[in-house]
Amino acid sequence: MTGFLGQNKGLVDFDQKSLAVAAAAIAFNPIFWNTVARQEYHNKILTKLAGGNSRMACYGLAVTIFSLGIFRDFLYERALRAQPSHPLLQTALATYVAYGLLAAGNVLVLSSMWALGVTGTYLGDYFGILMDDIVTGFPFNVTVSPMYYGSTMSFLGTAILFGKPAGILLTVEVLIVYLIALRFEDPFTAAIYAKREKARSKGGLKAAKKEL
pLDDT in tens, 22-66: 999 999 999 999 999 999 999 999 999 999 999 999 999 999 999
Residue 10 has pLDDT above 80, yes or no: no
Residue 8 has pLDDT above 50, yes or no: no
Provide the pLDDT for residue 205. 47
Cβ neighbours of residue 204 closer than 8 Å, sequence gap 6 or more: none
The pTM assigned to this predicted structure is: 0.88
Report how far residue 108's alpha carbon sits from residue 139's, in angstroms, rounded to the nearest whole number: 6
Residue 5 — pLDDT band, cuts 50, 70, 90? very low
Task: Count how many Cα atoms sit within 13 Å of the Cα of residue 142 in the half-sphere of its side chain.
Answer: 14
* SS3 state at 195: helix
Provide the pLDDT for residue 204. 58
Residue 1 has pLDDT above 50, yes or no: no
List pLDDT tens digits, range 111-122.
999 999 999 999
Q: What φ, ψ does residue 12 adopt, rounded to 5°?
A: -130, 130
Quick one: which of 173, 168, 175 has its CA closest to 94? 168
Mean residue pLDDT of the chain comes to 91
Report how far residue 208's alpha carbon sits from residue 165's, in angstroms, rounded to the nearest whole number: 63
Residue 185 has pLDDT above 50, yes or no: yes
As a whole-number percent, the residues of the chain with pLDDT over 90 amount to 80
Tell me how many degrees the CA angle 50-52-53 measures, rounded to the nearest 5: 70
Neighbours of 20 (CB within 10 A): 12
